[in-house]
Structure 1
C-alpha cells in the first residue's frame, strides 16, 4: 500500500527569507508543455519564482490535472508528491506534514487553479512561511471548487496572511478556513476583518493562537456588524481581555442579519456583568452560543451539578403528552426529519415553550445528540434514555 510521502525527499526553498517583488498583476503561471523554443526575454526584476503566471490559457485549461501538476513541479524545481497525484480526483485531500515549503505549495496552487473536484484540502504543518501565502492567495482568487482549507501551523505571519486575504476577498466558494497557529497578530486580523466585510461565503473561521489582542479583535468586530455569512469563529488562546470579548458580542447584537452560531473565547475570563450582556445578545440571536471562562468557576460548576438532565426534561414532557421523544424533536424541525443544522436547532430549542430549558442545557443536549459537521442527529434517541 502506498504511503503519503513524496517520491523523493523534498528540498526546502532556499529563498524563503528573501522578500519577493510585490505586484498587483501577479497571476498563476504554468505552461502545459515544456518550451522547445528560445524563451521570451523578461525584465531583469521578473522571475517565475515570484509569481504564478498563465502564459497559454488554452493549454492551461485543456491539460490533464496530473500533467499540469507534473509540469508545475518541473517549473518550480520540486519532486512531485505521489499522494497528491493519486488523489487529485478525490473530494478530500490530506497533505499535512508533507514538508511542502513555498515551492511545493506553488506547484500545488498551480494545479488547484483549474481543479474543481477537490472540495476539502488539509495543508497544515507544511512550513509554508509567507511566500506560500502569496501563492495560495492567487489561487483562491481564481479557484471555484475548494470549500474547506486547513492552513494551520504554517508560519504564514503577517505578509502571508495579508496576501492570502487578497485572494479571499473575491473568492466565491470557500466556506471553511483554519488559520490557527500562524502568528500574524493584529495586522493579519485587520486584513481578515476586511475580508469579512466583503466576503459573503465564509461560514467557519479558526483564528486560534495568533497573538491577536483587543486591537486586532476590534477590526474583526467592526466587520461582523455587517457580515451575514459567518457562523463559527474560534479565537481560543489569543491574548484578548473581557473588554475585547465585549466588543465582539456587541457587534453581533448590532447586526440583525448575523448568522453567528458559535464563538470560542474559552480562555477569556469574564464577569457576571458580561454574562448578563451576553444573555441579552442571545435573546436577539437565539442561535448564538459563546464559550468563555467564568470568573465564578467554582459556583458555575456547582450550578451545573444542580441542573436537570435536558434529556430527562424532554422525556418527562413526552410521557405526559403521550408522544415519543422523537416526535418532540421532529416538531422542532419544519421538514420533520431527524437531522437539523446546529444553529436552527439551538434557536428552536430556546424559542419553544413546552420544555423549560436554558442555553447551557441546550449546549449539553447538542453534545448528546452527536453534533457533527454542523448538524444534530435525532436518530439515536434510544441511547439517550436515562
Structure 2
C-alpha cells in the first residue's frame, strides 16, 4: 500500500503546476501525519476480533515512523537550489565541474525554473547527465557555454532548455565542435526563441553544410544583430554563404569572420554585398588570405559602403595592390573611423600609396599599422604627411613593432604643439634619417614580377616571328634552347626573373623531357601560348585591366613597341607626389610612447 501511495503522489506532484502545487503537494510532515491518521482510523474501523488473526497496526505504524525519520534526515541533506544531495552540493562548492548525481535520489521540483526542468527532463530522455555549467547558466542575462566539449545529445538537451529561456539576450557556444548536426539543433532553438540577439558560434567546424544552414536561418529570421562565426575553417567557397548572411540581414550590426581561409572568391562576393549594406557597423575579417584580386575587390566594397565604422583587415597580406585599392577607398569612404592594418606586408612603396588616400580622408580617427616592414625613415615620412595636412581627423596612430628614428620624435613634438595626437611605437633609434638617395633604394623594383611567366615570354616575342625569335634566343645555334639561354633572354630584356619562371617555361615547352626546347617544340608551344592568351583576353579582359591599375609591376612598367622590352619607370618619379622627404629638424628631447 505504501509504495503505491508514494508513486501516486509523485505522479501528481510532477503533473501539478506552480499555481496548484500547494493544493496537490503538501509538505512532507503534513503527509506523514495524514498517513498516520488514516492508518489509525482504518485499524479502529476494521479491527478483527477473530482469534489467531495478528493485529498489523503496530507494524504499519513502525514502518511509517521509520519513513518519517528517513525523510527528516533527507531534508537536512537536500540542496534546495537544484534538488541534489549534500555531497553533490559540496563537490560543486569546491569548483568541480562534475555531472549531476544519479536521478535515483532526485525528483522534478516545481520551484525550479522552467528551462531547468525542461533541460533535466530531456537529459533523462536522452540518457545523458545534466552538466553543472549548463544548469548554472539558466536565468542569467548572458549564457556562456563555450569550450564544454558537449556531445550531440548534450547539445540537443541544452537547446531544449534554452528554448524556454526568457532572460538572456547573449549566447556563446564557441569551441564545442558542433558541426552541421549540432548547429542544426542550435538554429532550431533560435528559431523558437527570438530573445537572443547576440550569438557567438566560433570554433565549431561549420565549413560546408554548417555555414549553409546558418545562412538559411538568416534568410528566414531577422533577429540577430551580433554574429561571431570566426575560426570555423571556412574556405573560399564558403564565402558565398557568408555573403548571403550579410545580404539577408539588414539588422546585422557586428560580424566577426576572422581566422578562416577566405581568398579571392570570398573577397569578391563579400566586398560586393558590403557595398550595399546599410546597417553593418563593425566587420572583423582579419587572419584570412585576402591578397591581390581578393583584396582589391574587398576594398571596392569598402569604398562604396556607408555604414562601417570599424574595420579589421589585419594579418591578410594586402601588400602593394591592397594598399593602392585601400587608398582609393579612403578617398571616398565617409564613415570609417577605425582601420586595423596590422601585419599586411606594407613596405615603403605600399606605405606611400596608402598615404595618398589617408591624407585625403576627413573621417578616419584611428589607424593601426603594427608589425609591418616600415623602415624608420618612412615612418618619419608618414608622420610628416600627417603634420602637413591639418584637415586630417587622425587622432591615434599605432606603430607597434616598428622602430623609428630621431627625426620622428622631432616631427611628433611639432604636431603636439598644434593638436592632440597619440602614437605608439616600438623604440626610437638615436640616429637621423638617411639621405634621399638611400631612401630611393628602398622603393626600387624587386627582382621578381607578378606577370605570368608564359605571358612574359609572349610579350617579349610579340613583334617577331616564332622561328626568328627562337634563333635569337639560341645564341650557340645548336639543336635546342637551354634554361640558361632563357634566363639570359630575360636578363638582357631588363627582367631579372627567379629560377622558377624559367622552369615553368621549360616544363610547358619541353614535351620530350630531354632538358632542351628544339625548334618544333618551340613552334608548338608558341601556338599554345597564343591560344591561351586569346582565351584569357576574351574571358577576362575587363578584369585584367581593372587589376592592372593596382599591380605594382603594371603601374611601373610598360612594353616598348620597337624592342619588345619591359621597361621600368624611374623610382624618383614614383616617390615624391605625397610629401617632401627633406628631414625635419630633430628634437633634442625624447618623446614618450603615448601622448594624451
Deviation readout 1:310-335 (Å, 9 max, x if unpaired):
9xx9xxxxxxxxxxxxxxxxxxxxxx
Secondary structure at the aligned position of 1:267 is classed as coil
Determine the C-alpha separation between the residues in 1 that align with 2:391 and 2:160. 52
Determine the C-alpha separation between the residues in 2 that align with 1:271 and 1:385. 30
| CA separation of 1:123 and 1:295: change in aligned 2, threshold 3 A | same
Determine the C-alpha separation between the residues in 1 that align with 2:183 and 2:205. 10
Match in the other structure for 2:494: none
Match in the other structure for 1:134: 184
- Cα shift at 1:295: 3.1
Secondary structure at the aligned position of 1:266 is classed as coil
Question: Which of 1 and 2 has greater Rg?
Answer: 2
Q: Considering fraction of residues, name the structure with more helix.
A: 2
Match in the other structure for 2:275: 225
Determine the C-alpha separation between the residues in 2 that align with 1:150 and 1:367. 33
| CA separation of 1:127 and 1:113: change in aligned 2, threshold 3 A | same
What does residue range 99-114 of structure 1 map to in structure 2 within 5 Å? 99-114=149-164
Matched, 1:5 2:97: yes
Q: Is the contact made by 1:201 and 1:229 (CA closer than 8 Å) also made in structure 2?
A: yes
Matched, 1:291 2:340: yes
Matched, 1:265 2:299: no
The number of residue pairs the alignment matches comes to 276
Q: Which has the higher contact order (CA 8 A, sep 6+)?
A: 1
Match in the other structure for 1:146: 196
| CA separation of 1:304 and 1:160: change in aligned 2, threshold 3 A | same
Secondary structure at the aligned position of 1:106 is classed as helix
| CA separation of 1:159 and 1:269: change in aligned 2, threshold 3 A | same
| CA separation of 1:181 and 1:68: change in aligned 2, threshold 3 A | same
- Cα shift at 1:168: 2.4
- Cα shift at 1:358: 4.1
- Cα shift at 1:134: 1.3
| CA separation of 1:189 and 1:298: change in aligned 2, threshold 3 A | closer
What does residue range 28-67 of structure 1 map to in structure 2 within 5 Å? 64-67=114-117
What does residue range 333-348 of structure 1 map to in structure 2 within 5 Å? none
| CA separation of 1:302 and 1:205: change in aligned 2, threshold 3 A | farther
**Unpaired segments of 5 or more residues in structure 2?**
1-92, 102-107, 349-371, 399-419, 424-593
- Cα shift at 1:301: 5.5
- Cα shift at 1:90: 0.9
What does residue range 216-365 of structure 1 map to in structure 2 within 5 Å? 216-255=266-305, 258-272=306-320, 274-288=322-336, 289-292=338-341, 293=344, 294-296=346-348, 297-299=372-374, 302-304=377-379, 307=383, 356=390, 358=392, 361-362=395-396
Q: Is the contact made by 2:149 and 2:176 (CA closer than 8 Å) also made in structure 1?
A: yes
Q: Is the contact made by 2:286 and 2:313 (CA closer than 8 Å) also made in structure 1?
A: yes
TM-score by length of 2: 0.41
| CA separation of 1:366 and 1:165: change in aligned 2, threshold 3 A | farther
TM-score by length of 1: 0.62
Determine the C-alpha separation between the residues in 2 that align with 1:244 and 1:117. 42
| CA separation of 1:188 and 1:77: change in aligned 2, threshold 3 A | farther
- Cα shift at 1:131: 1.0
171-180 vs 358-367, greater mean Cα deviation: 358-367
Secondary structure at the aligned position of 2:313 is classed as strand
296-305 vs 118-127, greater mean Cα deviation: 296-305
| CA separation of 1:7 and 1:230: change in aligned 2, threshold 3 A | same
Determine the C-alpha separation between the residues in 2 that align with 1:265 and 1:134. 30
Match in the other structure for 2:244: 194
Match in the other structure for 1:381: none
Match in the other structure for 1:211: 261
Match in the other structure for 1:89: 139
Secondary structure at the aligned position of 1:149 is classed as strand
